[in-house]
Amino acid sequence: MREFGQILKDRGMLRIALLLFILLISAASVVYYFEHKTNPAFSTWLDAWWWSIVTFSTVGYGDITPTTEIGRYLTSL
C-alpha cells in the first residue's frame, strides 16, 4: 500500500484525486441546495452525492436528474 501511495505522490496524482474529490463534493452540494426543495429525487445530500459521482464518471444512469432551471444549467457545465 505504501508503494501505491508513493506512486500517487510522485506522479502528482494525489493532487488530481484531491481536486476531483473537492469537485464532486462541491457539485453535490450546489445541486442539492437548488434541487432538494422541488425535486424528490434529491431528498438527501447522499442522493446528490450519488448523482455527482454517476454524472462525472459516466453519462449518467438517468435515475436522478435535476428539474430546476439552475440545476440543469449547472449539470450542463
CA distance 15 to 12: 6
Rg (CA), the chain: 15
Q: Identify the pLDDT of residue 8.
A: 67
Q: For residue 5, which of 75, 14, 45 has the smallest C-alpha distance?
A: 14
Q: How many CA atoms lie within 13 A of 55 on its CB side?
A: 23
Q: When comparing pLDDT for 63 and 2, which is higher?
A: 63
Tell me: the pLDDT tens digits for 20-72?
A: 999 999 999 999 999 999 999 999 999 999 999 988 888 767 778 889 998 88
Report pTM: 0.78
Residue 75 CB burial class (10 angstroms; 0-12, 13-18, ≥19): middle
Q: Identify the pLDDT of residue 17.
A: 84
